[in-house]
Amino acid sequence: MKKTNFKLKKKYYIGIGTAIAAMITGLFWGNPHVAVMDSTFILHAFFLASFSFCLVLYPIFKSRIMKAVTLITASAYFYTIFFLYPDTWSTFIYICLIPAVSIFFFDSVLFYFTLILNSLFITSVFGYIMFNRQSELFFLTSQDVIGNIINFLGSQLILFVLYYVTYLRIKRQQDDYEHIQQSERIKTAGQLAAAVAHEIRNPLTVVKGFLQLYEQDSSYNEETKKHFALMIDELNTAEKVISQFLTLSAPSKEVNMEKIKVKESLYSVTGLLHSYGLLHANQIKLEVEEECLIAANQMEFKQLCINLIKNAIEASEDGDSVLVRAKRVKKNVEISVIDYGKGMSETEIQSLGTPFYSLKSKGTGLGLMICFNIVKKYKGTIRFQSVKEKGTTVTIQFPLYEDTV
Ligand code: ADP
Ligand code: MG
């Protein structure tokens, strides 16, 4: 990274050095003011020096202030030579190109600002030339002031289109790149999880097999057998979780789609959370409309809701309640999980769904990754709105049952 930076800087300085050399040559070559050293020469030299100075300093302080200062000196320089050499038409081209300097900085605000300001400024300059009878001085420009203005505005329009198209292209590339990186990470984590889950399943099966044998064995008393039954039960749950995880990490696998009554599902999920003692002193309030039906796998849908509600509870203070709302919105079912807990910043929201991203001491950082997978699988959407210290609203939407089947 450092090396490419260094190479880039070197190229920049070679380019800028050549441009400055050309401008200095322009100052001295065939310039009648050089011999007399009059105010025209001094002003020209001064603005050229300040512009060059900014260009040289720019890579060292790449701040927005530095960019703005460079732009101002560039404008000052180009406008100065436009006024100092009224009989030279080529100075007009430089003025047209002022906004291009901010294309180089790739700063939208500065670009639009310069574009508008430059257009206003040149129009007033030409107005001044036209109405104040400066035509003798600006002989070439005043031949066709209106035509010049139109040409000028045309050049600014071209710059605008150039900038805008380039901007869109780069933005799309950036988005694609981020998307690829994200799905790559999810894939890696999924494969890792699948491998681990697979390794755990085998020993579980062996242990369960022996327990089933012992359960039949009459040499154990009834009390012990009850324990065996309990152990087998727990092992069954673990197996279920593991196979679910395996289906998640292989998303292409077909799962049976069911008609899910969101209301029933949500009641059973909250019941489950109660019985696992996950609620502490928190309450879950349900506000669910009747006819919310979606098509998905029941287990996966429940897992999605459990993960979201668990996060909401974990973010809340003891005693605060969590609101779960479900309603129909056009041809979708919208489910929101609302908490009044610690919330997240914009950057935290952007990291959500990244495998192992967790701010909790005992978090796994896999919950939301699984949620994102489930939502994607059933063509739904998930959205996070959050304000730090105020709370979070997670909104998921799924297509309504009738539409999908
Ligand atoms: P885990 O819960 O194991 O940490 P998750 O993937 O479920 O993993 O969540 C990742 C992180 O996202 C959490 O550690 C937490 O910082 C943040 N988060 C998720 N939901 C909320 C919420 N409702 N409020 C505040 N932070 C949240
Ligand atoms: Mg979680």
Do 265 and 398 reside in the same domain of the chain? yes
- The mean per-residue pLDDT over the stretch 41-64 comes to 92
Within a domain: residue 200? yes
C-alpha–C-alpha distance, residues 122 and 112, integer Å: 15
Within a domain: residue 176? no
Do 263 and 378 reside in the same domain of the chain? yes
Ligand 1 atom 16 nearest Cα = 359
Do 317 and 239 reside in the same domain of the chain? no
Do 262 and 398 reside in the same domain of the chain? yes
Do 275 and 382 reside in the same domain of the chain? yes
Question: Which of ligand 1's atoms lies nearest the C-alpha of 339?
Answer: 23
| Whole-number average pLDDT of the chain | 86
Q: Where is the domain boundary, 202, 224, 249?
A: 249
List, in order, residues 6 or more apart from 68 with CB less than 8 Å away: 110
- The mean per-residue pLDDT over the stretch 62-70 comes to 90
Give the model's pLDDT for residue 156: 92
Alpha-helical regions (H) of 85-221: 91-96, 98-105, 108-131, 139-142, 145-216
- Of 94, 113, 19, the closest CA to residue 58 belongs to 19
Do 262 and 375 reside in the same domain of the chain? yes
For the chain, counts of helices (H) and of strands (E): 15, 7
Gyration radius (Cα) of the chain, Å: 34
Tell me the pLDDT tens digit for each residue of 384-396.
Answer: 999 999 999 999 9
Within a domain: residue 179? no
Q: Quick check: CB of 357 below 6 Å from ligand 1?
A: yes
- Of 191, 190, 163, 35, the closest CA to residue 105 belongs to 163
Q: What is the 8-class DSSP label of residue 38?
A: -
Pocket test for ligand 1, best of 309, 358, 362 (most atoms within 8 A of CB): 358
Do 219 and 270 reside in the same domain of the chain? no
Tokens of 146: 């209106």
**How many distinct structural domains can be found in the chain?**
3
CA 358 / ligand 1 centre spacing (Å): 6
What is the model's pTM? 0.51
Do 10 and 139 reside in the same domain of the chain? yes
Give the model's pLDDT for residue 275: 65
- The mean per-residue pLDDT over the stretch 241-252 comes to 62
Do 67 and 202 reside in the same domain of the chain? no
What is the CB-side half-sphere exposure of residue 322 using CA atoms within 13 A? 30
CA 59 / ligand 1 centre spacing (Å): 39
Do 136 and 38 reside in the same domain of the chain? yes
CA 343 / ligand 1 centre spacing (Å): 9
C-alpha–C-alpha distance, residues 374 and 387, integer Å: 25
Residue 141 or 390, more confident? 390
Which ligand has the minimum distance to the alpha carbon of residue 394?
1
Give the model's pLDDT for residue 404: 47
- Which residue is it, tokens 């030409």? 126
- Which residue is it, tokens 């097999």? 209
The per-residue b/e assignment along 389-401, b for 16 or more CB within 10 angstroms, e otherwise, is eebbbbbbbbbbb
Q: Are 135 and 127 in contact (CB under 8 A)?
A: no
Within a domain: residue 31? yes
CA 79 / ligand 1 centre spacing (Å): 56
C-alpha–C-alpha distance, residues 194 and 286, integer Å: 34
Do 263 and 234 reside in the same domain of the chain? no
Q: Quick check: CB of 308 below 6 Å from ligand 1?
A: no
Within a domain: residue 175? no
Q: Quick check: CB of 311 below 6 Å from ligand 1?
A: yes
Give the model's pLDDT for residue 69: 93
Q: Quick check: CB of 137 below 6 Å from ligand 1?
A: no
Confidence of residue 251 (pLDDT cuts 50, 70, 90): low
Q: Quick check: CB of 113 below 6 Å from ligand 1?
A: no
CATH number of the domain at 337, please: 3.30.565.10
- The mean per-residue pLDDT over the stretch 30-50 comes to 90
Within a domain: residue 133? yes
Tell me the pLDDT tens digit for each residue of 93-133.
Answer: 889 999 988 888 888 899 999 999 999 998 888 888 777 76
Q: Quick check: CB of 271 below 6 Å from ligand 1?
A: no
Give the model's pLDDT for residue 10: 92
Q: Quick check: CB of 364 below 6 Å from ligand 1?
A: yes
C-alpha–C-alpha distance, residues 85 and 44, integer Å: 10
Q: Where is the domain boundary, 109, 143, 177?
A: 143
Pocket test for ligand 1, best of 368, 370, 374, 382 (most atoms within 8 A of CB): 368
Amino acid at 125: V
Question: Which of ligand 1's atoms lies nearest the C-alpha of 341?
Answer: 24
Which ligand has the minimum distance to the alpha carbon of residue 313?
1
- 3-state helix/strand/coil string of 47-107: HHHHHHHHHHHCCCCCCHHHHHHHHHHHHHHHHHHHHHCCCCCCHHHHHHCHHHHHHHHCC
Other CB atoms within a 10 A radius of the CB of residue 159 amount to 21
Within a domain: residue 363? yes
Tell me the pLDDT tens digit for each residue of 316-342.
Answer: 988 889 999 999 998 999 999 999 999
Give the model's pLDDT for residue 387: 95
Do 236 and 284 reside in the same domain of the chain? no
Tokens of 67: 């960019």
Q: What percent of the chain has pLDDT over 70?
A: 90
For residue 36, what are the domain limits? 2-143
Strand partners, 332: 329, 399
- Which residue is it, tokens 């789609």? 257
Within a domain: residue 391? yes
Helix (H, G, I), strand (E, B) or coil at 287: strand
Tell me the pLDDT tens digit for each residue of 265-299.
Answer: 999 888 878 765 566 677 889 999 988 999 998 88
Ligand 1 atom 8 nearest Cα = 365
Q: Where is the domain boundary, 205, 222, 249?
A: 249
Q: What distances in angstroms separate CA 104 from CA 40, 58, 67, 91, 230, one per listed residue?
A: 29, 12, 10, 20, 69
Q: Are 118 and 156 in contact (CB under 8 A)?
A: yes
